[in-house]
Structure formats: C-alpha cells, structure tokens
Structure 1
Amino acid sequence: MKKFLVLGILFALPITAYLFFASGKNNFARLPVLTENVTDISGMETNTDSVLSFDEHITVVAFFGSDLEKIKGNTFNLDKKILEKYYDFDDFQFVLILPSETKEDTGNFIEEFKKISESSKWKIAYATSEEIETVFESFASPHKLDQDQYTPYVYIVDKDRNLRGRDDDEEHGELYGYDSRDVAELNNKMNDDVKVILAEYRLALKRNNRNDKI
C-alpha cells in the first residue's frame, strides 16, 4: 500500500506543479506598466469629505458616468466578481469617478446597496466633465468616454500612479482596461491581474523588511 502511495505522489506532484504554474499567464511576473504618471484626483470632491488620491494605493478606477442604471449594473457586477475579494487589503481601494451632478443620486444608491454589497467601501470622486476628461485622457488608453462621461472599462493604477495592464493579451494585444459587462473577463483576466499586482507589492514589502533587518 505504501509503495502505491509513494508512486502516486511521485506521479501526481509534477502534474500538480505544472498546472499550478500554468494556471495564470501573469501569476509569477510583474504586471506591465502601460502608461506612466497618470493624473491624480486629490483635488476632487469626495463622498466622504476626505482627500482621495492614487498615490500609495493600488486602485481600481471606474468612469461610470451619470446614468444611474449603468452605475448600478456595472458597479454591482464588479463588486461581486472582483472587489469584495480584496477590500481587506489596506492599500487597495475602489474609486468611482463621476460627474458632480450625480452626487445625490449616487449617495442614495450606495445606501440602498449596503444590504447586498460592500458599497460602504466604495470611494467616489465627483468632478466636472473637463476634470474627468483630463484624468481619463492621462491613462492614454484606446477607449473613449461617451457624452455622459461613461465607459464600461475599469482600470488598475498602482501606488506610483502608473496604469497597469497586459502588453501581450491573446485577444487585444495591449489590455488597458477590463470590461465590467463581461463576467468572463472579470473572473479570469482582471482577477488574475489584481492578484499579480497585490502579490508584487507584498513580495517587495517582505524584501524591504528583510533588508532592514540585515
């Protein structure tokens, strides 16, 4: 019996290791920087009256416009498929950048959704159309905002205000943002990439701590 157990382990271990390392294309590398030094949002009004900034945070950024139905659908989808897995990380944040005129409606919407989502952890920056355009254009993505300052794509910005994504995506080549309407893309690509960037910073922190002790 022991002989078969040992043989089974010897056979299964290489296969398991291969599947683990092959499970995510970006799992063991840095997530590529696609755009450096995006415009910060520290001057914008917020839903909590505190200052919001991309600096020193890993930020998922959404531009969901002034149509409340789109804000509800896209944000809820994103929250359930991606965000609720990462809210407990201190340096992680989710920021919605919305037109100033949506302030009252989105405030009510957040209260409404507290029973079924982590909406209390959403951070909202309110701005003029011009301010939103300035931040969005600094991402230098191929996407466009519509007349309501909306795009379904969400973005990952690192602690140094660099836009992260994929530079060799099998479908798009360069993947600047993730389609919040596409559950498969959220579950697979975006979830994988958020894990990568969080692991990247955790590894850097451990290295710094080791160096401090030397």
Structure 2
Amino acid sequence: MKKNIVLFTLFILPIVAYLFFASGINSFAKLPTITEKIPDISQWKTADGKTVTLNDKITILGFTGSKIIYNEGNFFNLNQKIYNKNKNFKDFQFVMVAPKGSEGQVQELMDKLKPIAEDKDISKWIFVFGAPDEIKDYYSKLNLVGQLDANSGTANVYIVDKERNLRGRKGKNLEGKNEYKEGYNTISAADLHNEMSDDVKIILYEYRAALKKNNPKTEMKRKI
C-alpha cells in the first residue's frame, strides 16, 4: 500500500498537475510569444517617485487611459478574476501605465480596490505615470493589432514574462486550429475567468517547472 502511494506521488501526481495547467481552454503546450523583448518601463515612475521594471517579473501590463474611475469596473473584474488568485506568487505584479494628471483617480481607485482585495493586500497593484505621447509611442513598440483609444488607454491587459516577452495565443493549437490572442478584455469577466485565467496558470506553471528542474533542493526546502 505504501509503495503504491509513493509511486503515485512520484510519477502520477506530476502528470496530473501538468495536465491541469496545460489543458482547458488554452490547448497550446506552451504559451506562445506574440512580441519578443518589449521595452522596459523604467523611464516612468509611481506617484511616490519609485521606478518599476518588467525584468525578472511575470507582469500583467495595462494601459488605463485618463478615464480611470469611469472604467473602474474593468479593474474590479481584473482584481477578482486574476489578481486575488495569483498575487501570492512571489514574482508576479500588475503594472498599469496611466497618463500624468490621473494620480488622484488612481488613489481613489486603490481605495475602492483595497476592501475587495484578498487580505486587503493591493501591494502588487502598481501604477506608473507618463505623458500621453510617451505612452502611445511605447505602446506602438509592442507591435500589436490593437490600438490605444483617444484617452491613451485600452480595456485589454497583457501577459509579459520575466524576459519581457509578451505572451498570448498565436498559431495552431494542439487541436490544429489557428488562434490569435494578444490581450485579454477586462470588460468581459468571462474572458478573464476563462481564457486569461487559464493562460496565467500555464505561464506560472512554466516557471514553477523550470525552478523545480534547475533547483530541486531549493524546491524541496520550499515544500517543507
């Protein structure tokens, strides 16, 4: 009996875990790259003057536009469907690029997000501020099909890996069907709950698997 349990733990459980993360709506074996090596955002600062980087972080990148409070429902959706479920992952962050002059709206939004964030922890929500022209120029370098609106924003958010590659769905999936998805629509709770949630699981699993492979002793200590 004990032997069977050991065999299950060593061989079957990892396979089940992989199938859980790599199956579902996203039927790619690995989350494809849409744009390689997007520019960093260290040229912009937070309201308290701190710089932020995309390097060595898994980032949910967004562009708020100037009507932040008008679109606050989008942030609530993102908070409930993605942020609360993943904020405890060490190298995970939400970076929102906002136009200068919207600092007051961001503070108002954060005051509203805090009560509904798990454990009231909004530390992974990070807002940086730039001039509208700078934001539009930066966005153009992402080489995406979508565009920013007249307020320098978009309802879409994007997954960026630790090497600053923008990830999504591109090419033929495991079923042989063509897919393309560069961003996730925060207006749609279903889009976040289904497609984005699934894709975030896959990219987080990629890094967990890599960490376990490269540092087996460290991974064992973390489990203990």
The answer on 1:132 being equivalent to 2:135 is: yes
Equivalent residue number for residue 97 of structure 1:
97
Contact kept in structure 2, 1:166 and 1:174, CA below 8 Å? yes
Equivalent residue number for residue 153 of structure 1:
156
Higher Rg: 1
Equivalent residue number for residue 185 of structure 1:
191
Q: 1:119 to 1:210 in 2, by over 3 A?
A: closer
Equivalent residue number for residue 181 of structure 2:
175
Q: Which moved more, 1:110-119 or 1:100-109?
A: 110-119
Counterpart of 2:69 in 1: which secondary structure? Answer: helix
User: What are the equivalent positions in structure 2 for 1:71-82 lying under 5 Å apart?
Assistant: 71-82=71-82
Deviations 1:64-98 (A, max 9, x none): 20102344111111110111100001100001110
Counterpart of 1:106 in 2: which secondary structure? Answer: helix
Deviations 1:113-155 (A, max 9, x none): 3122344431001001122112211221111111101111110
Tell me the TM-score normalised to structure 1 length. Answer: 0.82
Contact kept in structure 2, 1:27 and 1:195, CA below 8 Å? no
Q: Which moved more, 1:142-151 or 1:164-173?
A: 164-173
Amino acid at match of 1:187: H
Unaligned runs of 5+ in 2: 1-15, 219-224
User: What are the equivalent positions in structure 2 for 1:10-21 lying under 5 Å apart?
Assistant: none
Q: Which moved more, 1:162-171 or 1:152-161?
A: 162-171
Deviations 1:144-192 (A, max 9, x none): 1111011111100111111000014889831000111111111111000
Query: Within 1, Cα distance between the matches of 2:43 and 2:22?
Result: 43
Counterpart of 1:69 in 2: which secondary structure? Answer: coil
Unaligned runs of 5+ in 1: 1-15
Deviation at 1:37, TM superposition (A): 1.1
Contact kept in structure 1, 2:92 and 2:124, CA below 8 Å? no
The answer on 1:194 being equivalent to 2:200 is: yes
Q: Which moved more, 1:102-111 or 1:162-171?
A: 162-171
Query: Within 1, Cα distance between the matches of 2:68 and 2:178?
Result: 29
Q: Which moved more, 1:74-83 or 1:112-121?
A: 112-121
Equivalent residue number for residue 24 of structure 2:
24
Contact kept in structure 2, 1:36 and 1:162, CA below 8 Å? yes
Q: Which moved more, 1:147-156 or 1:107-116?
A: 107-116
Query: Within 1, Cα distance between the matches of 2:20 and 2:53?
Result: 36
Contact kept in structure 2, 1:65 and 1:71, CA below 8 Å? no
Equivalent residue number for residue 4 of structure 1:
none
Tell me the TM-score normalised to structure 2 length. Answer: 0.79
Deviation at 1:202, TM superposition (A): 0.9
Contact kept in structure 1, 2:21 and 2:198, CA below 8 Å? no
Contact kept in structure 2, 1:59 and 1:94, CA below 8 Å? yes
Q: 1:69 to 1:28 in 2, by over 3 A?
A: same
User: Number of matched residues?
Assistant: 197
The answer on 1:112 being equivalent to 2:115 is: no
Query: Within 2, Cα distance between the matches of 1:93 and 1:169?
Result: 29
Percent of residue pairs identical: 41
Q: CA RMSD in A?
A: 2.8
Deviation at 1:193, TM superposition (A): 0.3
Counterpart of 1:156 in 2: which secondary structure? Answer: strand
Equivalent residue number for residue 38 of structure 1:
38
Counterpart of 1:205 in 2: which secondary structure? Answer: helix
Counterpart of 2:55 in 1: which secondary structure? Answer: coil
